[in-house]
Amino acid sequence: TRNLNNPDLPSPYPAGAQLFFRAVTAIHESTFALKVAFVLCEFGIVFVLLDILRIGGRSSHLVLAFAWNPLLAIEVAGSGHIDILGALLLVISVAALARHWRAIAAVTFGLAVAVKFLPIVLLPLYWKRVRIRDAALAVLAVVLMYLPFLNHGRIPIGSLGAYVQGFRFNDPMFAALDEVAPPQLLAGLAVLVGLVTATWQRNHTRQKTLTTPRLRRVFKISDFAWPMAATLLFAPVVFPWYLLWLLPFLTSSSTLPIIVWTVSIIPTYIMWHFRMLGRPWGALPAWVMVVEYGCMAVTGIVMGLSRSCEPDNAAL
């Protein structure tokens, strides 16, 4: 905490992230200890993904799409970002859904949201897949985590408001809309886009399960990638490590534009290089954003023109 970028602001992280930080630093207060913990989370995702692929009857080699992604080495062992913990909890939740362990699925989803709020847009994917009592149990788990942080009966949100109001990075869509609407409204729009995408994914998969007997009662793990990606595309800040949430779910051809994004976002690191040279933090060079989002867009266009789509028998 002594070398934070913005020491004058309270932490924007939710209770789950704060408690994890506290647990690890209670053992050893160092960035190395946190990185070790995050690498263990990475290994955990590999094992859970193998289980999900096995349940779906898919090749275990697909786990390499996650394990060999360069963002893992950079942002987990290299930089040590908490997002990998949230991704682990979310993958456990998806694995529990696949096994119809609904209470575990709901609680681990709640814990993932308590690490960072991004996966909240996946709520429609849990509709009718978990029971009301399972959802209540998840809410209770999150509430219990927030109890130590209550301030005169109020839940602190840290610098979340300042984050939405003034932090900007790698945000072409948000920047364009920021000219005509307040940032709070645009942040809400980003969440809405994710929720709508998740609802569409849910209904689309449901239609397939009704028309294809082999898909009955089965969902696609790739459904969990696009809602979060859609929200990030409209977000005020898109740091490379935010994409760690998406990596475990990039196991089908339908997610190829996102797979490309996890690589095309790498040129944004030039901003950290500029900072090391003593330059002030600012907007990314135009060519960086052209490369990043251009590669993603071209991939999507080529897929659309070739009508490349996921085979109906690719369940998970």
DSSP string, 108-138: HHHHHHTT-SGGGGGHHHHTTTS-HHHHHHH
Inside any domain, residue 316: no
Residue 1 inside a domain? The answer is no
Q: Which domain holds residue 59?
A: 15-305
Whether the Cβ atoms of residue 67 and residue 247 lie closer than 8 Å to each other: no
User: Which residues of the chain fall short of a pLDDT of 50?
Assistant: 213, 215-217, 313-315
Q: Dump pLDDT digits (tens) for 10-62.
A: 778 899 999 999 999 999 999 999 999 999 999 999 999 999 999 888 888 99
In whole numbers, what is the pLDDT of the chain averaged over residues? 89
Coil vs helix vs strand at 154 = strand
Look at residue 101 and tell me if it is in a domain: yes
* 8 found inside a domain: no
User: What is the structure's pLDDT at 165?
Assistant: 86
Number of domains in the chain: 1
Asked if residue 2 belongs to a domain, the reply is no
User: Is 286 a domain residue?
Assistant: yes
Of 17, 34, 119, 47, the C-alpha closest to 76 is 34
Tell me the C-alpha to C-alpha distance, in Å, between residue 129 and each of 16, 123, 133, 316.
24, 10, 12, 16
**SS3 letters for 167-218?**
CCECCHHHHHHCCCCCHHHHHHHHHHHHHHHHHHHHHHHHHHHHHCHHHCCC
Please report whether residue 294 resides in a domain.
Answer: yes
Letter string b/e over residues 232-251, b meaning 16 or more CB atoms within 10 A of that residue's CB: bbbbbebbbbbbbbbbbbbb
- Please count the other Cβ atoms lying within 10 Å of the Cβ belonging to residue 256: 17
Rounded distance, CA 95 to CA 76, Å?
22
Residue 90 lies in a domain: yes
Supply the pTM of this predicted model: 0.90
User: Given this model, what pLDDT does residue 215 score?
Assistant: 43
